[in-house]
Chains A and B, each alone.
Chain A
Amino acid sequence: AQRVTQPEKLLSVFKGAPVELKCNYSYSGSPELFWYVQYSRQRLQLLLRHISRESIKGFTADLNKGETSFHLKKPFAQEEDSAMYYCAPRPAAGNKLTFGGGTRVLVKP
């Protein structure tokens, strides 16, 4: 079965510290991978997608096909990074995203 797992429900870090959000998936083939973010009282929005290889707001995500992981990282967390983060793979031949359970990031001053 196709599954996506975000093992941490909550990550609490101090401002300026690195933060890494884990995402593991169990999909065959080469899924397309996305990270979404939801700030307080705002709608879900796309943070980054693997296919574009971009860095958004200092975040990057590395695809590890061997470990079937797509962890999200930022070297120096800022208070405005406090939000809910969702990993969302899409099967290579599929049409829809499947969202993980989410990780809440709290960046303390």
Chain B
Amino acid sequence: DTGVSQNPRHKITKRGQNVTFRCDPISEHNRLYWYRQTLGQGPEFLTYFQNEAQLEKSRLLSDRFSAERPKGSFSTLEIQRTEQGDSAMYLCASSPGADYGYTFGSGTRLTVV
């Protein structure tokens, strides 16, 4: 197992386009998290899955954002009609349980032009 894998590493898109990111967690980890990080800030929570169930979603997440984790393995995060304010690093993390820390991926850097 090579840890948490995220693809693509970088994405440049035009405003108004849709983008989709993928996260492959550590296979034994049933919890999967998406965070967003902008320059000079700490990671900000977006959403959380336990197996295939999306159990929590940030109130900051607009309707343009959607995430899935079919079959409880990999996850995708889609942003529709991207805006310049969506430019950020999108981080995925997985964990085997609540008392454990997260293992993070390298992130996907999104630039909306």
- Find out whether the CB atom of A99 lies under 8 angstroms from the CB atom of B43: yes
> Which bracket fits the contact residues of B?
20 to 34
Q: How far is the CA of A40 from the CA of B112 in the complex (A)?
A: 24
Count of interface residues, chain A, beta-carbon cutoff 8 Å: 22
Residue of B nearest to A45 (CB): B104
Say yes or no: is A17 at the interface (Cβ < 8 Å to chain B).
no
- Find out whether the CB atom of A96 lies under 8 angstroms from the CB atom of B42: no
**Distance to closest chain A CB from B77 (angstroms):** 16
Given contacts A95-B48, A96-B33, are A86 and B102 in contact (CB under 8 A)?
no
Say yes or no: is A11 at the interface (Cβ < 8 Å to chain B).
no
- Find out whether the CB atom of B102 lies under 8 angstroms from the CB atom of A97: yes
Chain B residues near A49 (CB-CB < 8 A): 100-101
- Residues of B participating in the A interface, judged by any CB pair closer than 8 Å: 31, 33, 35, 40-45, 48, 50, 55-56, 91, 93, 98-107
Can you list 28 A-B pairs with a CB-CB distance of less than 8 A?
Answer: A6-B42, A32-B98, A32-B99, A34-B101, A43-B104, A43-B106, A44-B93, A45-B104, A46-B101, A46-B102, A49-B100, A51-B99, A86-B42, A86-B43, A88-B42, A90-B98, A94-B98, A95-B48, A95-B50, A95-B98, A96-B33, A96-B45, A96-B48, A96-B56, A98-B45, A99-B42, A101-B40, A102-B42
* Seed contacts A44-B104, A45-B103, A45-B104; 17 additional CB < 8 Å A-B pairs: A43-B105, A43-B106, A43-B107, A44-B91, A44-B93, A46-B103, A49-B101, A86-B42, A88-B42, A95-B56, A96-B45, A96-B48, A97-B102, A99-B44, A100-B42, A101-B41, A102-B42
